[in-house]
Amino acid sequence: MRTERAAASPFGLGVIVALYMAHALPLYFYNVAVPAILRSQGVDLRWIGMLSLLYLPWALKFLWAPLVDRWHLPALGRRRSWLWLTQLLLLAGILVLAFTGLDHGLVVFVLVGMWISTIAATQDIAIDGYTVEALAPAEHRLGSMAQSVGVALGSMIGGAAVLWLYETRGWSVALLSLAAMSALTLLAVQQINETPARPDAPRPSILRALRRPELRWALLLIVLYRLVEAPAMAMINPLLVDQQFSLTEIGLLISVGGAGTGMLAAVGTAWLLKQRRAEQLLMHAGWWRTVFYVLLALMLYSGAMATSRWGLGALVIALLALRYVAMTSLYALFMRVSSRAQAGTDFTLLVCFELLVNFIGGALSGFLAKGLGYPIYYIALAAVSALGLLLCRPLMRRFAAPTNSP
């Protein structure tokens, strides 16, 4: 098919990378830059952890995903209609944030943040649907890789670059630069080569997705595998601030070193997925994740953090690389079990459930870390990670052979 060949080409994959970067820019501004900025101003860990509430639309977007699959402007196309609309609305939200900032109070900041989060979540439905539809099943590993690379680039710009600009030039320059980069991604929207919707295709719905057993097993896998990751990663930035890392150092570490290593990990994972199933790579990444949580706790117990900033930085980068391995593998599995007849709805349902799990863990992370202290906190997360992986082992065998049946 012409659309599959176009999307699987380097240019077609580059378009997918740009689309995922577009929605990741504001996402990682809130995920990387804002927690570090707030902590540098002395904001309590509990309030920083509660920033995860801004991701509530990402956990609920499955509710309107069938509408994104059904409705569009025929002149623009099914996916391009939503991509144009949401990118323009995202740009407007970032501009409002640039001129309001933190000086207008927490209510305005949260309301604008919720607007940006809701629009980016809606855009992600269209991007995911396009990626699943445009690639042949054998090429889904490349789509997952492109997604990971786009997210990594969004993290670099929305996280590290914005933090550096904020520290050196101030809030307005940082946010206007973020808006300019978001505007440039509109060029990618015109380059997509989408598949027209089949006139006889069944009506997309959430209930239709849930009737498929492989999708229900994927939902259970998300709970067992991803439960600990959001609590662990949500406290990394505050931990670095408490260890006297500057905002620029945190941005370079998380959004340049970590995301750069993550992109390499995503490319390597896509190559490995030619020889191994996604389930195998997920288990390997999960066990290494558990080991690194234990190492982090031991460094905290022993006081090595004070004398080994390089060691802490290397451990954080290793955790981020493993996160990209897991994300690339897991999303390749999501694409595998999503139906092409309602790709946006199926994939979104899985991602929303994953984000709901992350949202709950992230919202509680600040309270748990403050109550337990960092060392016990990461030891507890390692124990939960190991238990979840043991429960995942029999579950992995229940997945059906690769399919994209309607």
> Is the pLDDT higher at 205 or at 290?
290
Q: At residue 401, does pLDDT exceed 50?
A: no
> Of 353, 268, 250, which is closest to residue 34 (Cα–Cα)?
250
Residue 73 pairs in a beta bridge with 77
% of the chain exceeding 90 in pLDDT: 12
> Is the pLDDT higher at 86 or at 23?
86
Q: How far apart are CA 389 and CA 406, in angstroms?
A: 31
Is residue 402 very low, low, confident or very high in pLDDT (cuts 50, 70, 90)? very low
pLDDT for 192: 78
CB atoms within 10 A of CB 294: 16
pLDDT for 198: 61
pLDDT for 44: 72
Q: At residue 262, does pLDDT exceed 60?
A: yes
Is residue 5 very low, low, confident or very high in pLDDT (cuts 50, 70, 90)? very low
Integer angstrom CA distances of residue 74 from 11, 80, 93, 405 = 25, 10, 27, 26
Tens of pLDDT along 161-196?
888 888 888 888 888 998 898 888 888 887 777 766
Tens of pLDDT along 326-378?
988 998 888 888 887 787 788 888 988 887 888 788 878 888 888 888 889 99
Q: At residue 277, does pLDDT exceed 80?
A: yes
Is residue 387 very low, low, confident or very high in pLDDT (cuts 50, 70, 90)? very high
Q: Tokens 């190991």 correspond to what residue? A: 386
Q: At residue 304, does pLDDT exceed 70?
A: no
Tens of pLDDT along 59-70?
788 889 888 888
Give the alpha-carbon dihedral of 216, 218, 220, 222, to 10 degrees: -150
> Is the pLDDT higher at 276 or at 304?
276
Q: Mean pLDDT for the chain?
A: 82
Q: What is the mean pLDDT of residues 248-260?
A: 78
pTM of the model: 0.70
Is residue 390 very low, low, confident or very high in pLDDT (cuts 50, 70, 90)? very high
Q: How far apart are CA 197 and CA 271, in angstroms?
A: 31
pLDDT for 7: 54
Task: Give the angle subtended at the CA of 335 by the CAs of 363 and 406, to the nearest 5°.
Answer: 120
Q: At residue 6, does pLDDT exceed 60?
A: no
Is residue 382 very low, low, confident or very high in pLDDT (cuts 50, 70, 90)? very high
43-47, 379-383, 387-391: least confident range: 43-47
pLDDT for 399: 65
Following DSSP, what letter does each residue of 151-195 receive, concatenated?
HHHHHIIIIIIHHHHHHHH-HHHHHHHHHHHHHHTHHHHTT--PP
